[in-house]
Amino acid sequence: MYVTIRDLFEQTVHKYPDKEALCYPDKQIRWTYAEWNREVNRLANALTGAGVRKGDRVSTFLFNTEELATCLFACAKLGAVFNPINFRLKPEELAFIVGDAEPTVLLFEQALSTTVEAIHSRFPDLQFWCVDAEVPAFAVDYHARVDAGPDTRPDTVVEETDLYGIMYTSGTTGHPKGVMHRHRDMVDQSMTILAELRLTAHDKGLSCAPLFHCAELHCNLIPRIHVGAGSVILHQFEPQRVLELVGQERVTTMFCAPTMWNMLLQEDLSRYDLGSLKRGLYGAAPMAPALVRACQEKLNVALFQAYGQTEMGPAVTFLRDYEQMDKNGSAGNATLNHEIRVIATAEDRRVEPEETLPPGEVGEIIVRGPGMMIGYFNRDDATAKAIYKGWYYSGDLGYLDADNYLYVADRKDDMVISGGENIYPREVEDTLYEHPDVRDVAVLGRPDAHWGETVVAFVVVSNPDTGAEALDAFCRASPRLADYKRPREYHFIDELPRNASGKTQKFILRERLARARADQPD
């Protein structure tokens, strides 16, 4: 029988019982693998006592905490289905996921209690467990339940084909869907990550990106545990605290979205001891060349990029440390045991997986591999649309070069068509990122009576004196950007709306544009 997530964890406990497994500074926790295993068993038995059975869902509505990580493996030991929920959600968004997933128990923390309190009365059969000392009246004390549980191993039979977790898509386009993954899928994903990143038991990783998201959970925390490395959990991303912990805990590896790496570079790096940091993973979007150079020069870190989707586990390609400049702009090539194709697009029919395009021609990216979801929870219609003949149709546009390296142009929905010409926002964004005062940027199309659409840029600048005129002149002077691709309109904002993985939520920016147009006098 194939290894499960439970086996993965317990094998490491057996090999490294006295090795430090987990550090959670916010609660002064520092556990060996043996100590953590006992805590996992206590939680698993407490959940059993609360009526959780194999196949039941257990949800977490938490920032990065040891309780979230402990719950993952407690569910794995029970055969329960782990369901981490985005802590940024508003009450109605949380209610949608809770109503869809129908968990037996939901773990939450005091900082999020107002959101939970707003919906708890709608779910009278759901048990709410608070992980902090101040427990609201509608909830029960998580730690009282766990401390009362025996630390013996549950005897549930868990198999490789059992459902391990449901991860709700964070949504760049709207309503989230519950992505279902089996134990085997995620063990395969972990082995892929280990092969690409070359992690060992001597590594120590920092989880500063959200653990409810598969990028941090499946590409970082689980692989580290798989190989017996140590893990430090930071409650939430704070640039100065990240840099402090790298030095204090001798962190060797961590994941950040490009915007997070950029925020780290804004700090006075001379104040921190960063000599232990050797490896940095990024995803959600490729890094602009200027940012890659800055990370390499200022942090002396070997960068790796992963591209993928929640539906695929997530990683399907890697751009390795030695490829960052030679293949800059690429998402890398297919990782182990994965296949990638770029196929034609059509509005009026299903395009077959065999309708591949030649190198350099933009089409829809389709992928297949061992980490592919078994489907969307309660959404057979969406599953049938996304998976066809064993391939996942990503909805991303891109092309393969002559060396089979993938370049992601944009989401199909994000492409701008102006005057009959296709404009991919990514190339406009990359050009603007080269400007020294541009810290963040998102480009999209606005309806235009004459051209069909016109290019609009939302920009975050470090220098408030840098305005539209300066950026337009910069784009005009760029040898990389044709004149028709230049933004005709700039909006300067404090920050871009992003989902948990760091992807820009352009639908929010489109709504903002639509409101602005509606407010204009005729």
Domain boundaries, the chain: 415-519
CA pair distance 121, 47, nearest whole angstrom: 21
Q: Side chain identity at 383, as an amino acid letter?
A: T
Residue 229's alpha-carbon distances to 140, 214, 233, 368, 389, in angstroms, are: 33, 19, 13, 29, 38
* pLDDT, position 211: 97
Q: Are 292 and 317 in contact (CB under 8 A)?
A: no
pLDDT band at 287 (very low <50, low <70, confident <90, very high): confident
Q: What mean pLDDT is predicted for residues 139-167?
A: 97
Task: Report which secondary-structure segment, H or E, holds 204.
Answer: strand 204-207
Report the alpha-carbon distance of residue 41 to residue 44 in Å, rounded: 5
Instruction: Name the nearest CA neighbour of 190 among 152, 221, 156, 169.
Output: 221
Q: What is the predicted pLDDT for the residue at 131?
A: 98
Q: Do 366 and 344 contact (CB within 8 A), yes or no?
A: no
Handedness of CA 170, 174, 175, 178 (dihedral sign): negative
Cross-sheet strand order for the sheet of 57-61: 140-141, 127-130, 105-108, 57-61, 81-85, 163-168, 178-182, 375-376
Q: Binning pLDDT at 50, 70 and 90, where does residue 500 land?
A: low
The predicted structure's pLDDT at residue 466: 96
Structure-model confidence comparison of residues 328 and 6, the more confident one: 6
pLDDT above 60: residue 232: yes
Which pLDDT score is estimated for 521? 60
For domain 415-519, the CATH superfamily is ANL, C-terminal domain (3.30.300.30)
Which range (148-162, 418-432, 480-494) has the least confidence?
418-432
Q: Does position 24 have pLDDT exceeding 60, yes or no?
A: yes
* pLDDT attached to residue 168: 95
Quick one: average pLDDT of 200-226? 97
Q: The pTM is what?
A: 0.86
Q: How far apart are CA 487 and CA 445, in angstroms?
A: 9
Q: Among the listed ranges 20-29, 36-45, 494-503, which one has the minimum average pLDDT value?
A: 494-503
Each residue's pLDDT tens digit, 400-412: 999 999 998 866 6
- What pLDDT is attached to residue 61? 98
**Which pLDDT does position 285 carry in this prediction?**
73
Give the percent of the chain with pLDDT over 90: 80
Average pLDDT over residues 60-69: 98
Angle between helices 66-78 and 5-15 (to 10 degrees): 110
| pLDDT surpasses 70 at 349 | yes
Lookup: tokens for 203: 């590594």
**Least-confidence region, from 7-16, 429-438, 465-474:** 429-438
In angstroms, rounded to a whole number, what is the distance separating the alpha carbons of residues 304 and 199?
Answer: 13
Look up residue 405 and give its two tokens. Answer: 């390296």
Q: Which residue has the higher pLDDT, 347 or 92?
A: 92
- pLDDT score, position 175: 73
Q: Residue 505: its pLDDT value, please?
A: 85
State the pLDDT at residue 89: 87
* Residue pair 247/76 in contact by the 8 Å Cβ criterion: no
DSSP β-ladder status, 279-282 and 253-255? parallel
Model confidence at 332: pLDDT above 60 = yes
Longest CA pairwise span in the chain (Å): 72
- What is the arithmetic mean of pLDDT over 104-132? 98
Could you give the C-alpha distances from 83 to 106, 121, 212, in angstroms and in order? 9, 20, 8
Q: Beta-carbon neighbour count of residue 451 at 10 Å?
A: 18
What is the b/e burial string over 490-515, where b = at least 16 CB atoms within 10 angstroms of the residue's CB?
A: beeeeebbbbbbbbbbbbbbbeebee
pLDDT of residue 309: 93
Strands (E), 215-344: 230-233, 253-255, 279-282, 302-308, 315-319, 333-334, 339-343
SS3 448: strand
Q: Which residue is associated with the tokens 């905490």?
A: 65
**In this predicted structure, what is the pLDDT of residue 430?**
86
Strands (E) across 210-275 are located at 230-233, 253-255
CA 249/CA 270 separation, integer angstroms: 18
Please, how many CA atoms are within 13 Å of residue 490, restricted to the half-sphere of its CB? 20
- pLDDT mean over 513-518: 80
Instruction: Quote the tokens at residue 59.
Output: 């949800």
Q: Looking at the predicted structure, is the pLDDT value of residue 172 above 60?
A: no
Least confident of 1-10, 70-79, 207-216, 277-286: 277-286
- Band (pLDDT 50/70/90 cuts) for residue 170 is low
pLDDT band at 520 (very low <50, low <70, confident <90, very high): low
pLDDT > 60? residue 173 = no
Q: Across all residues in the chain, what is the average pLDDT?
A: 93
